[in-house]
Amino acid sequence: MDFRLNETQEMFRDMVRNFARKEVAPLTQELDKKAEFPWKNYKQAAELGILAMTLPEEFGGVEADSISYALAIEELAWASASVADSIMLVEALTYLLHTYGTREQQQKWIPPLVNAEILGSFAVTEPNAGTDAASMQTTAVLDGDCYVLNGTKAFINNAPVADMAIVFAVTDKEKGPRGGITAFIVEKGMPGLSAGKPEDLLGQRSLIVGELIMEDVRVPKENVLGKVGEGFKMAMKCLDNGRIAIAALALGIAQAALDESIKHSKQRVQFGQPIANFQATQFKIANMATEIEAARLLIHKAAFLKDQGVKFSKEAAMAKLFASDLAVRAANEAVQIHGGYGYTKDYVVERLYRDCKITQIYEGTNEIQRVVIARHVYNESE
C-alpha cells in the first residue's frame, strides 16, 4: 500500500496551490465583504484548465484522476471556499453532460462551461425537498414535442445568473423517484423561466444562490438529459461524486484554520511569551493536525475506490461526514486561539468560521450521511 502521491498528482496539487495562494487568496476577504462573485479567479481557473481537468482531451481536459481533483479542491478551498464551490459545480454539470448527454448536448454546453463563457446550475433542491430529494414537486408533462415544467427550485448555485440549468423534475409520479424523475437542460430565456433574488448568505458569500422558478416552461424533448425516468439515479450518482469534493473543500478550510492558528500563536505574546508555548494551545494544534490527516486519508481512499470502478458510497459519506465536522471544529478552535481578534472581520478565521458550516448541510446533511453509513455497515454484516 503506497500512500505517496504520484508525480502527476503532485503536479496538479502544486499548480493549483500556486494559483490559489498567489491569485485567489489576496482577493477573497474583500469579495466576501462585498458578496461578489469571483469572476477574475473563475476565468483564470478556466485558462489554467482547472474547470476541465477531469474531462477527456477532446473537451480540453486531461482526465485527471479523482485524487488529483480532490487535491485541487482542497487547495482552492484553502484560499476561497466560494471559488472551490463554483468549480465543483462545473465538474458536476460536465460530469452529467459527458456521462449521459447526447453528442449534440455535449458539444453545445461543455466547451462554454469549462471556458467560463457561461454559468450553469444544478437544480435538485426545492423549498420542501432538500435532503429528501425524492419528495420533489417540480413536474414535467409531455405536450407534443415539449415537456412543460412547473415548480420552484431553492438554494441553487448561480440560479439568478445562470445561462443553463440541469433541472430534475417528476415525469411519472406513479413510478416514484426510482423511475419517475427525469433530468432536463433548461436554457436562459425560455418563456416562463425566472429566478428569485440572490440569498444573503452566512458564509461562502461570493456565491450567487437563489430560487429557479418555472411556470409552464416548454422544454424541447431533445433537451432531456439521459433517459426519461432515470434522473434520480443520475442525481444520486452525481451526489456520491460530490461528497468527495465537499469533503475536500471542508478539508481545505480546516487546513487554512490550522495554518492561521499556527501563524497567530507564534506571533501573539501573552504573559511574556508566544501563546504557542502554552500547552492548551499546543493541544488544540495537535488535535487539528491529527484530524486533518485522518480526513485526508478518508478522502483519498474514497477517491481511489471511485477510480477503481468499485462501490464508494459509504466511503464518500464517511469522508464528507468526518471532514465537514472537522472543518467546523477546526474553525471554532482557530477563532478561540485568535481570541478577540478572531471575532473580527479583519482576520481570515472569522470567514472560515462562517464558510465551514454549509459543508455539514449540502450534498446531504450529516445526519443523512450517518444514515447512509449505518445502512452500508448493517448490510455488510449480513
Active site residues: 363
Taking the C-alpha atoms of residue 36 and residue 213, their distance in angstroms, rounded to an integer, is 23
Alpha-helical segments (H) within 177-309: 177-180, 231-267, 279-307
Q: Do the strands 120-123 and 164-170 form a parallel or antiparallel pair, or are they unpaired?
A: parallel
Helix axes 103-114 and 81-100, enclosed angle (nearest 10): 160
Handedness of CA 43, 48, 49, 53 (dihedral sign): negative
Q: Do the strands 193-195 and 209-220 form a parallel or antiparallel pair, or are they unpaired?
A: antiparallel
Burial of 134 per CB tally in 10 Å (0-12, 13-18, 19+): middle
Taking the C-alpha atoms of residue 234 and residue 173, their distance in angstroms, rounded to an integer, is 17
In degrees to the nearest 10, what's the CA dihedral of 262, 264, 266, 271?
-130
The set of cell numbers assigned to 94 is 460536465
One DSSP character per residue, 120-136 reads: EEEE--BTTBSS-GGG-
Q: Among candidates 45, 136, 134, 129, which has minimal Cα distance to 91? A: 45
Do 122 and 235 form a contact (C-beta atoms < 8 A)?
Answer: no
Residue with cell 464558510: 355
Taking the C-alpha atoms of residue 290 and residue 310, their distance in angstroms, rounded to an integer, is 28
